[in-house]
């Protein structure tokens, strides 16, 4: 196989997005559009990748180099057409390119690597000067049409604005993805002119030039033409995003064996990894690099971003970010796991609990209404309802450490830095300011005083006072 050069066109303005962010940087399925295209390009193992940038070249260029560090950026100062853009790319490579050249546009996020590889294999097997990745669409408006002769051989690509009435009826279109013999392309680029309806240098004119020179030209018709659909505005972006999601869910259901109760309300991004027999309940979003192990049940109404969920864990109505949930752990309903949360095997983060930089060892439990920040809770320990780990003194953050098999009471405040020893306990309402030794019970609330007859004296005539009187309340402080 000859050397492969991929050229990605990303210089256009994308004004229809009406955005301060360049079109190809808009995200679908958790990745920028150009990110999807660069990923697809990788599956043909290119020797070189050149991305043509123009509008907002700093923003786009930096993003491209981050995703594909070894790639070349070519700057197209003014957008004079796809032929001009490719010429700029070839100039960036020293003015000449051998082997096979594949031209992609940066706004087709659904493009799959295997389709691109099949297209390229077909191009090389047929030894063509130019191959077009084409497709049949219901509404060809706006696309370049594939014009064929009576034998079905490709004659030319005619752009919408240059097409006559008959040509406009053609439903086979140029996807914008083309493959070339590099030597032919290098030469053809010098001959492409801009004498057309748009006054642009059309890359597609290379097809006619190849025909005139008696070289082989052909189109590879992709059945699943949506893969080459571009997004020019926000509604198309949303449609492509939805279609990508549908495809991702389909993959997990059919190829891996994941149960997704309601695909219409489930969103899973491209980089997420799920194991067999995971169950996803309605209203769930799995984002970023989230990984879910076997038999875990996620949802309903749960968002996890860059989280790791252990086998058989149960995560209900939860929002999580950069958190690790242990095997068989239970989270929620209504839990908020913030970065640095790690929960052990069989642990529990219960209802209305927020955690941050918090490590719960195996079997540790924080079942109700708590904030656990900058803390460690030892194996088998239970944190009482309504506990606050007061980690911030207004200046710096401090850690609280609770040992193994400790039992802390309801409505505690741990004023960090503080340590509760193994097997220690605290009474209800304790404000823990000093370390509790192993096995000790800490209490900080003073003895309780009852002011008898208080309701009758201080709230006379109220329902409270009447209820107290009906219950036989005396006033022992005023005999
Ligand atoms: C192009 C094709 C058309 C095809 C369609 C598919 C040409 C002449 N026409 O038309 O046959 O059906 O794509 O979508 O190629 N770009 C640059 N620099 C430029 C011009 C364009 O980088 O100077 C980039 C754009 O950012 C875009 C891509 O090339 O990503 C296609 O350009 P666009 O102007 O959208 O071409 P179309 O008119 O859609
Ligand atoms: Ca276009």
What is the fold, at CATH topology level, of the domain defined by 4-228? Spore Coat Polysaccharide Biosynthesis Protein SpsA; Chain A (3.90.550)
User: Rounded to an integer, what distance in angstroms lies between the CA atom of residue 112 and that of residue 116?
Assistant: 6
Residue nearest atom 5 in ligand 1 by C-alpha distance? 176
- Contact, 130 vs 146, CB < 8 A? no
Work out the burial of residue 466: count CB atoms within 10 Å of its CB; fewer than 13 is exposed, 13-18 middle, 19 or more buried: middle
176 lines ligand 1 (CB under 6 A): yes
CA angle 136, 137, 140 (to 5 degrees): 115
Q: Is 249 in the pocket of ligand 1 (CB under 6 A)?
A: no
Q: What is the pLDDT of residue 446?
A: 86
- Using alpha carbons, list the distances in angstroms from residue 326 to 293, 331, 346, 367, 459: 10, 10, 7, 16, 53
pLDDT tens for 300-357 read 999 999 999 999 999 999 999 999 999 999 999 999 999 999 999 999 999 999 999 9
123 is catalytic: no
Q: Tell me the CA–centroid distance for residue 230 and ligand 2, in Å.
A: 7
Positive or negative torsion for Cα 264, 266, 271, 276: negative
Q: How far apart are CA 406 and CA 381, in angstroms?
A: 5
178 close to ligand 1 (CB < 6 Angstrom): no
Q: Which atom of ligand 1 is nearest to the CA of 11?
A: 22
Ligand in closest contact with the CA of 81: 1
Q: Which ligand is nearest to the CA of 12?
A: 1
The Cβ-side half-sphere exposure at 119, using a 13 Å CA radius, reads: 37
Q: Where are the domains of the chain?
A: 4-228, 249-442
Q: Check pocket membership of 206 for ligand 1, CB cut-off 6 A.
A: no
This prediction has a pTM of: 0.93
Angstrom distance (rounded) from CA 290 to CA 360:
20
Distance 321 CA to ligand 1 centre (A): 39
| Domain boundaries 249-442, CATH class | mainly beta
The response to whether residue 208 sits with its C-beta less than 6 Å from ligand 1 reads no
Contacts of 456 (CB under 8 A, 6+ apart): 465, 468, 469, 473, 475
Cα separation of 67 and 82, whole Å?
23
pLDDT tens figures, 170-203:
999 999 999 999 999 999 999 999 999 999 999 9
Question: Ligand 1 within 6 A of 23 CB?
Answer: no
Q: Report the C-alpha dihedral over residues 307, 309, 313, 318, rounded to 10 degrees.
A: 10
The structure tokens listed for 408 are 């802390």
> Rounded to the nearest 10 degrees, how much is the dihedral formed by the CA atoms of 390, 392, 394, 396?
150
Catalytic pick among 251, 368, 398, 478: 368
Q: Any idea which residue has 């084409």 for tokens?
A: 134
Ligand 2: centre distance to CA 32 (Å): 17
Question: Based on the number of CB atoms within 10 Å of its own CB, is 394 exposed (0-12), middle (13-18) or buried (19 or more)?
Answer: exposed
- From CA 387, how far away is CA 375, in angstroms rounded? 12
- Residue whose structure tokens are 């300011």: 433
pLDDT number for residue 479: 47
Give the DSSP H/E element, type plus range, for residue 375.
Answer: strand 365-377
Q: For residue 23, which atom of ligand 1 is closest to its CA?
A: 26
**pLDDT attached to residue 384:** 98
- Is the Cβ atom of 348 under 6 angstroms away from ligand 1? no
Measure 112 CA to ligand 1 centroid, in angstroms.
19
Residue 58 DSSP class: H
Nearest-atom number in ligand 1 for the CA of 230 is: 14
Question: Separation of 177 CA from ligand 1 center, angstroms?
Answer: 10
Q: What distance in Å separates the CA atoms of residue 49 and residue 101, rounded to the nearest whole number?
A: 10
Same fold, 4-228 and 249-442: no
Ligand 1 neighbourhood includes 232 CB (under 6 angstroms): no
Tens of pLDDT, residue by residue over 98-137, are: 999 999 999 999 999 999 999 999 999 999 999 999 999 9
Contact indicator for 70, 47 with CB cutoff of 8 Å: no
DSSP code at position 444: -
Spacing, Cα 242 to ligand 1 middle (Å): 24
Lowest mean pLDDT among 23-27, 55-59, 167-171, 323-327: 55-59
**pLDDT above 60 for 299:** yes
For 140-157, the DSSP string reads: -TTSPEEEE-TTS-EEEE
Residue in 388, 407, 389 with CA at minimum distance from that of residue 398: 389
């Amino acid at each position: 196989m000859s050397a492969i050069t991929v050229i990605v066109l990303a210089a256009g303005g994308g004004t229809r997005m009406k955005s301060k962010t360049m079109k190809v940087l808009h995200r679908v399925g958790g990745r920028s559009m150009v990110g999807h295209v660069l990923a697809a390009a990788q599956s043909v193992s290119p020797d070189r990748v050149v991305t043509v940038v123009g509008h907002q070249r700093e923003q786009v260029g930096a993003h491209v180099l981050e995703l594909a560090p070894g790639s070349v950026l070519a700057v197209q100062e003014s957008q004079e057409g796809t032929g001009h853009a490719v010429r700029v790319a070839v100039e960036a490579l020293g003015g000449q390119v051998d082997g096979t050249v594949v031209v992609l546009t940066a706004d087709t996020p659904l493009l799959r690597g295997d389709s691109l590889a099949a297209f390229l294999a077909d191009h090389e097997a047929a030894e063509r000067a130019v191959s077009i990745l084409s497709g049949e669409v219901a509404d060809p408006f706006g696309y370049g049409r594939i014009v064929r002769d009576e034998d079905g051989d490709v004659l030319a690509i005619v752009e919408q604005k240059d097409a006559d009435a008959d040509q406009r009826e053609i439903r086979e279109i140029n996807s914008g993805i083309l493959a070339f013999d590099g030597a032919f392309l290098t030469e053809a680029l010098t001959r492409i002119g801009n004498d057309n309806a748009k006054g642009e240098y059309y890359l597609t004119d290379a097809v006619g030039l190849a025909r005139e020179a008696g070289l082989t030209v052909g189109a590879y018709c992709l059945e699943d033409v949506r893969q080459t659909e571009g997004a020019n505005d926000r509604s198309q972006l949303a449609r492509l995003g939805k279609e990508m999601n549908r495809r991702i869910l389909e993959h997990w259901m059919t190829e891996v064996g994941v149960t997704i109760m309601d695909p219409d309300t489930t969103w899973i991004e491209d980089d997420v990894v799920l194991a067999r027999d995971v169950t996803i309940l309605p209203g769930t979003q799995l984002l970023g690099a989230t990984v879910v192990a076997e038999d875990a049940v996620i949802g309903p109404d749960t968002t996890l971003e860059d989280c790791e969920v252990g086998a058989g864990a149960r995560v209900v109505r939860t929002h999580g970010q950069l958190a690790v949930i242990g095997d068989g752990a239970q989270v929620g309903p209504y839990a908020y796991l913030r970065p640095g949360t790690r929960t052990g095997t069989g642990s529990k983060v219960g209802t209305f609990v927020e955690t941050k930089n918090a490590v719960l060892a195996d079997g540790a439990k924080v079942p109700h209404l708590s904030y656990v920040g900058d803390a460690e809770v030892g194996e088998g320990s239970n944190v009482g309802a309504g506990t606050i780990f007061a980690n911030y003194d207004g200046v710096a953050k401090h850690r609280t450490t609770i040992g193994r098999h400790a039992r802390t009471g309801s409505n505690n405040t741990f004023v960090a830095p503080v340590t509760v020893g193994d097997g220690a306990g605290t009474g209800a309402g304790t404000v823990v300011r000093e370390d509790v030794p192993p096995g000790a019970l800490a209490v900080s609330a003073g003895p309780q005083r009852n002011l008898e007859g208080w309701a009758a004296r201080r709230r006379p005539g109220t329902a409270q006072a009447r209820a107290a009187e009906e219950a036989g309340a005396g006033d022992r402080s005023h005999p």
